Amino acid sequence: MRGLTVTLSIFIVLSASVFSTTMADRTHQINYGDTLWDLSIRYYNTPFHWEDILQANESLEGVEFLRPGSELIIPDIYGTTVSMSGGSASVDIYTTSLASSRPLLSRLLLETTGMVTDNPPAPVCYIVGINVDEVDEYASEFAMPGDMVAIDIGQNQGVEIERVYKIYNIGEEVRHPETGEKLGKVIRVAGVCRVVSTSPTASVALIEHAYLPVIKGDFLVPYTSTAPVEVSSNGVVSGIDAWVIAFQDPDTERAYAFDIVFLDRGSEDGLQAGDIFNMYKYGQLFNSPSGGTVVTPNIPISSFIILSTTLENSAAMIFLSSSTDIIEIGDRIELAREQQ
């Protein structure tokens, strides 16, 4: 992943001509959930180059036509030319910019991470009714963006119109893949809702974002924005092993690039957002024709960035997968880089 824009070079050219240099355009394989906005953040550290990506891909009909598995051209973004006058000559200064290896993760991704814990966030209220704006015969058993839900607090508890809440769903119990120890339950972010109407004892909220089907019994906590996370570039002196214990997606048995997984290590183990773990294909022993034996080096095949931590567990995104190997619950990974 690439993000922070840095100045690569400055070219000074006499007269009115403009000199430019570019690197080869890159390509990006589209993954489920990708948007041009987030890809612009990833490669240029700003969302405002999404139109440049769109224009570089003539076959792309619009921002809503990103098809997972196909490739996008990520163009080199040119710099700007500034004319300066000095003496008898006009000088054009042309700057080019290039993306560095320091990514910026989207806020939406960070705010929907979830956790594994036996001490979930304290609910302020619960969803008691689904699709309350629908006629009963058309009402569904779950709510999606644009639907309305009833919650069990109102004006008597200080609820005001336009207040925003994050919706949590309590998932399955998780056990450690090696020891069998109970680690807690998966707490998933189902969505975000905004209060549109209140009474003394209840309120109605509009589902503005939903990442899972919202159901009765889901609980709400006040919405707070999440601080950005940057990838660490600091080497590790002593590594830490961790185990993959659960997935953010409740319907999957395997994880791929840009999926979120939960690990059995947390802040009490010294982990923090931005730390990097690797999964390795470990070295193999071979006999040499010379009569000796050799051991091949370990090869990193997947990389994970820590997004958030609890005391005992953490959530991580797979941001690099360089082989066909897939991630499964019970896989072991190793700390490769940590924040200072």
Mean pLDDT in consecutive groups of 10 residues from the start of the chain, 340 residues: 28 27 66 77 75 86 78 72 38 32 58 91 95 74 91 96 94 94 95 94 92 93 80 66 94 86 95 89 80 79 90 90 77 84
pLDDT tens for each residue of 124-139? 999 999 988 877 656 6
Task: Give 16-38 as a DSSP string.
Answer: S------PPPEEEE--TT--HHH
CATH level 3 topology of 241-337: Thrombin, subunit H (2.40.10)
Distance CA 74, CA 86 (A): 37
Specify which residues 339 forms β-bridges with.
none
**How far from 93 is each of 96, 97, 330, CA to CA, in Å?**
10, 13, 55
pLDDT of 63: 72
**Cβ atoms within 10 Å, residue 12:** 10
Identical fold, 108-222 and 241-337: yes
What CA–CA distance (Å, rounded) separates 190 from 127? 12
- pLDDT score, position 324: 61
pTM: 0.66
Domain ranges of the chain: 5-104, 108-222, 241-337
Give the CATH number of domain 108-222. 2.40.10.410
